[in-house]
Structure 1
Amino acid sequence: MLAGMTDRPETVVARWPVRSPSGPDGLAGLLSAYHLQTEAEKGAAVADVAALPDRYRAEIVDPRAVFARDAVLVALRGEETAGCVVVAPAAGWTEIKRLWVTPPMRGQGVAAALVAAALKHAGKTGAGTVRLSVWNWRTDAIALYERFGFTVVGSWDTRDRLVCMERAA
């Protein structure tokens, strides 16, 4: 083996739907984990997907309908579906949402690969600004976004503890 090389697979980001060995696309599992974890962190833990609020459950049950106008990007590492992000167009800006990396894949550059791919996609849409919102307790995510040039801006969302960020596309 050459110095500096590892046997770890690289992260490949593809537009959903994709086929992977860990399931037909892995997206439902990623979104389920994202929403269940988020509800628990908000202090409103639920037992399973069936108990999630309707709007979140719909993303898991019928992502084609919910994300029909959006680009859903999925990260693959070797045989595993490692993470996802949604890039949603809006009037004059693009929103990044639902960034999620499976716990075993964290710390391996998957989130950075997803954000980079999301920004590349957003740049192709012609939008001047990329926005996102993130819960204030997700400090690692906030630091990642800051490394990509996002800055905190005034909130456009009324939910408590939500940090709104943006950057030029």
Structure 2
Amino acid sequence: MTEQELQKLKYPIGTFDCPSNITSEIIESWISILEHFPNRLENLIKNLSDEQLNTPYRPDGWTVRQVIHHLPDSHLHSYVRFKWTLTEDKPVIKPYFEDRWAELFDYEAAPIQTSLLHLRVIHEKLVYLIKGLSEDELNKSFIHPEMQSEVVLKKNIGIYAWHSNHHYAHIENLMKRNNWI
């Protein structure tokens, strides 16, 4: 497999490219992605067998099961980052080792239903919160120590809308390549 092919498997929709001017229309489209993502994901994977769930989406990549367990954990972190940012002055967030989390036994063996429910609840809470934010609140930011940069909340909405579509594409592309859909 060429490096270009591997990159396409890693980033099937490309990397996140934030517009320089994040308009209310863009935010609304990102919110819509977040709002509908749990249903889209559940509909995509509802007929997968355990064998299919345990299939990596790319060489040396996570299995579908690991991706499904990763999503609510990652998006819970995002939700907490919103809360910190809304209640503190430019908080420094705590990053986590998502690759190590994915190696834990629950990511490799646990049924996906709990993570799907967790994802649904986190997205309902996150979307409800975001829809109620003022322009001033959307412009608040947190510090990401790994990136050594400030992240504005309205950009963070886009990051997680992209993140949702990014992992959806991982699973969907695997299913297409393997003729599961």
TM-score bin (small chain)? under 0.3
TM-score normalised over the length of structure 1? 0.27
TM-score normalised over the length of structure 2? 0.25
